[in-house]
Structure 1
Amino acid sequence: MSNENKMAPAQLIKVLVGIIAFVVVVIYLLAKLATSGFDVNAEVMTKEAVAARLKPVGESVAGDPPGSRTGEGVYTALCVSCHGAGLAGSPKFGDNAAWAPRIGKGEAMLFTHAISGFNAMPARGGGADLTDDEVKRAVVYMVNKSGGKFAEPAAGADASAPAGAVAGLDPAVAGKKVYDAVCVACHATGVAGAPKFGDKAAWAPRLKPGLNEVLAIATKGLNAMPPKGGFTGPDDEFKAAVEYMVNAAK
């Protein structure tokens, strides 16, 4: 073999080093591409935050009697699921800059939004069994940890019933009340495949088996929907909510 066809050891080493460097760069770029967009905040992935996000909407946030739960207790059990990391546009707990413009609107406005629901947040943050004052205490707790100085309602001062307790009302009124407190979280916009409220086309195939079958499925839960949609109140109140949605889709 002629000398022209032979590669000097030094040249061979350079070629090998170049190939290795090229492979490393390619692997790095592929890894970068595969993980782009996945900037995971450690706070979002804490056991408490994950567990709170997995709780069904409307689940009781504590074993304490209604009306006696503290702001910190409600926040830890429920509100942290979004406010702990600032999900869905919610102001992050402890972020003074994010809370400042909201605090500037006054406590009455914040209380109203928290109780009635606002943007992506359902009424009472999804805690259907919370009384007005328990919701207010949770708001005050978050506000005062984020640069505000609101006065907290006294424990036990709220004699009003939780949002889920609507016994004695006309069924149509009771159904709307439960819907506004719990079901609206998914059915208002059709989240997770839920038929959107009032969407006749989406509800039509679901209504074919009849109301009793619809109620049975809703009570048991289906796909992403937990049993009774996460509602913890009496069965007759849940039935009223189902009938309210069904009637709106006929």
Structure 2
Amino acid sequence: MRKNVLVASALLVLCAAALTGGIMWWNGGFAVQATVIAPSKADISRAETLMPTDGSLAKVYARSCMACHSVADAQAPLTGHINGWTQRFSERGSRGLLKSAKEGFGNMPAMGLCTDCTDEQYTALISFMSGREDSQ
């Protein structure tokens, strides 16, 4: 009887944590999901209009990244939302974010819809979206 209560309690805790976003399934194991400050209405409006200053990179961003990274409901970190990107950089670093872009992460497909991008382009796109590069 005690064993059943313990198992039921453990399942309840795991379900509650999963429902509140405390745990997410990632790469075959559990990873703790940290709290990210939600973007404000101004952040969302800004994300809809930001574009890389480099013309060729702007074309790649428009066709491959903008559909998700400029829409709050897409659950992708918004372009220009520093708080949304800072934590990702501290958790995974630049190389980890590049790996996520190439291999996929969560809802993001592998190659991020840019099958012809080079590592340099991915790095520049991440830099732009995270607010670490000038934009217009």
Q: SS in structure 1 opposite 2:65?
A: helix
| Gapped regions of structure 1 (runs ≥ 5) | 1-41, 49-68, 150-250
Aligned to 1:82: 68
Q: 1:132 aligns with which of 107, 119, 133?
A: 119
Aligned to 2:87: 101
Q: SS in structure 1 opposite 2:116?
A: coil
Does the aligned pair in 1 maintain the 2:69–2:78 contact within 8 Å? yes
Does the aligned pair in 1 maintain the 2:80–2:128 contact within 8 Å? no
> Which amino acid counterpart does residue 94 of structure 1 have in structure 2?
G
4+ runs of 1 displaced by more than 6 Å?
none
Note the alpha carbon deviations across 1:199-250, whole angstroms, 9 max, x for none. xxxxxxxxxxxxxxxxxxxxxxxxxxxxxxxxxxxxxxxxxxxxxxxxxxxx
CA RMSD of aligned residues (A): 2.6
Deviation at 1:120, TM superposition (A): 0.5
Deviation at 1:125, TM superposition (A): 1.0
Deviation at 1:101, TM superposition (A): 0.3
Q: 1:120 aligns with which of 96, 107, 111?
A: 107
Q: SS in structure 2 opposite 1:76?
A: helix
Of the two structures, which has the highest relative contact order with CA contacts closer than 8 Å and spacing of 6 or more? Answer: 2
Question: Over alpha carbons, which structure has the higher Rg?
Answer: 1
Q: Aligned pairs, how many?
A: 82
TM-score (norm 2): 0.50
TM-score (norm 1): 0.29
Deviation at 1:70, TM superposition (A): 4.3
